[in-house]
A and B are shown apart, each in its own frame.
Chain A
Amino acid sequence: MNEGNTDLTLVKQVQLGNKQAFNMLVMKYQYKVVSIAMKYVSNESDAQDIAQETFIKAYRAIGEFRGDSSFFTWIYRIAINTAVNFVTTAQRKSIHIDVDSEDINSYDGSQKLYEMDNPENLLEGDETKKVFLKALNSLPSELKQALILRELEEMSYEDMALTMNCPIGTVRSRIFRAREILESQMSKMYMKNQKA
């Protein structure tokens, strides 16, 4: 059991022309790729632009992916290159921008920095983490343990069965039930926040 097997299966489907398989890969790695982009740029919009361009490049080059490295390692390199190119291009543009001193306060960049420092945004980010932690703590102990071992310790089903002293089938069902409960709780909390 290896998470990389899932990626290889999806990549092969993409190479056969199945775009939905690539959609699944995007959904799986979108947060990781955006996190990489956020290390190079300061705002979410640019980070998403970098991430989007990364996935587009990856799709066009998917035929060259041979499986020598993991899919994420491969796309990680594309993301880094894309982010660096984006920053380099942005720096070149900023050199040619002739900003009048009187217009500094109305400069788009400063506005965005202001938005980033908005306490409300910071709370929203923290809220997301709180939601996950709260949902995880609310799980029954055996389900919580199963999900922690799988998602945080990245244990295989076989190792989990030995650790938890239960059959592999039980491990599978506990992880599945834990995810179902978490997903339900997160949906409720999201809807609650939306109404508020």
Chain B
Amino acid sequence: MGIRDEKNFILSRFLDGEEISESELNAIMEDPEALNQWESYSKIRAGLRGEIPNNVNLDGFADRVIAAIDAEPFDLSRTISRATEQDIKQSTKKETVINKSKDYENLQDNVADENKVIDIRAERAKLLNKTVNYITHIALVASVAAISVLGVNLYNGKTNPFVEESYIGGGSSLSISPVKMVNSDKVNDTQISFNNNSNINSNANNVNTNTANVANADVGVDKNYLRVVEERRAKELKTLDALLNDHLYVQRGWVVSNSQQ
């Protein structure tokens, strides 16, 4: 097969959609005879497919089109979109690098590595965001838990209304030492009621688990404060804190000092 036949063979394959090298394509585009052959093959295809209209002679038509384009110079770069331009730049850049570099495999690896770095950075950024979100969430939960525990400690251990240092409101305070709980297993639904003349029953056996009657208490406990306690307890019963604090409230409500007996 001669050079001309070889070139025509490449044209025939290219017309059918087979890939050819850039150098082969350039050789065709620079050869007027090859371009004429391309036109002949295209005409054969059009004729066989019935695409040639009657009474039409298109000899020289393509030359007239190119001449008309040349007559009105137009800067193609104005119409190339950014994306297309980037694609062309990337492909041109790659081709330039390929032409310069002899080690094509290393070049491909470098390109692949660069892509990997980009992917790794993106993954790291995602992971960092997730970590920050997780830490923030943990910190919020921890702070809420800390506040709850602190609040409980402050309210129960340190601010006992029946001790001197925790007196709230008017009236004399009375120091009452904790006593042993009586019938503690029955303390479930305790109702604390305080009368103006509340009496503390010195006999622990007479303590009514359902109703806390403090007779002759002279405890000097502020009724408003106790109401606040009651309301708070009612609210806390609806929360998990109730399980922790409930027996402490009862303990406070039922505390009877041995000294009062």
Q: Which stretch (A57-65, A74-82, A98-106) binds chain B? A: A57-65
Our pick among A17, A30, A186 for the contact of B58 (Cβ within 8 Å) is: A30
List A residues at the B interface (Cβ < 8 Å).
Answer: 1-6, 9, 12-24, 26-28, 30-32, 34-35, 38, 44, 47-48, 51-52, 55-56, 59-64, 66, 116, 121-122, 124-126, 128-129, 131-132, 136, 147-148, 150-152, 156-157, 172-173, 175-176, 179-180, 182-183, 186-187
Q: Complex Cα distance A22/B188, Å?
A: 93
CB A49 to nearest CB in B, in angstroms, measures 10
Q: Complex Cα distance A91/B18, Å?
A: 45
Which secondary structure dominates chain B's binding surface?
helix
Task: Rank and list the top 4 A-B pairs by shortest CB-CB distance, nearest first.
Answer: A125-B54, A63-B80, A63-B79, A20-B29
The size class of the interface chain B forms with chain A is 35 or more
Q: Complex Cα distance A56/B79, Å?
A: 14
Chain B residues lying within 8 Å of A179, measured Cβ to Cβ, are 12, 41, 44
Our pick among B51, B66, B78 for the contact of A22 (Cβ within 8 Å) is: B66
Chain A residues lying within 8 Å of B37, measured Cβ to Cβ, are 183
Our pick among B35, B44, B68 for the contact of A186 (Cβ within 8 Å) is: B44
Chain B residues lying within 8 Å of A20, measured Cβ to Cβ, are 29-30, 35
Q: Is the CB of B12 within 8 A of A172?
A: yes
Chain A residues lying within 8 Å of B56, measured Cβ to Cβ, are 31, 34, 38, 44, 47-48, 125
Q: A34-B58, A52-B61, A122-B54 are in contact. Are A4 and B76 (CB under 8 A)?
A: no
Q: Which stretch (B81-89, B197-205, B234-242) binds chain A? A: B81-89
Q: Complex Cα distance A105/B42, Å?
A: 40
13 A-B pairs (CB sep. < 8 Å): A3-B15, A3-B16, A6-B16, A26-B66, A30-B42, A31-B58, A38-B56, A56-B69, A56-B72, A60-B74, A125-B55, A126-B54, A128-B47
**Chain B residue nearest to A5 in the complex (CB):** B17
Chain B residues lying within 8 Å of A150, measured Cβ to Cβ, are 16
Q: A20-B29, A151-B45, A179-B41 are in contact. Are A51 and B54 (CB under 8 A)?
A: no
Our pick among A4, A24, A175 for the contact of B35 (Cβ within 8 Å) is: A24
Contact digits for B153-168, partner A, Cβ 8 Å, 1 yes 0 no: 0000000000000000
Q: Is the CB of B81 within 8 A of A63?
A: yes
Q: Complex Cα distance A180/B37, Å?
A: 9
Q: Complex Cα distance A28/B15, Å?
A: 9
Q: Complex Cα distance A122/B65, Å?
A: 27
Q: Is the CB of B43 within 8 A of A31?
A: yes
B132 close to A (CB within 8 Å):
no
Q: Is the CB of B12 within 8 A of A175?
A: yes
Chain A residues lying within 8 Å of B49, measured Cβ to Cβ, are 151-152
Q: Is the CB of A6 within 8 A of B88?
A: no
Q: Is the CB of B58 within 8 A of A66?
A: no
Q: Which of B19, B56, B58, B80 has the most CB atoms of chain A within a 10 A radius of its CB?
A: B56
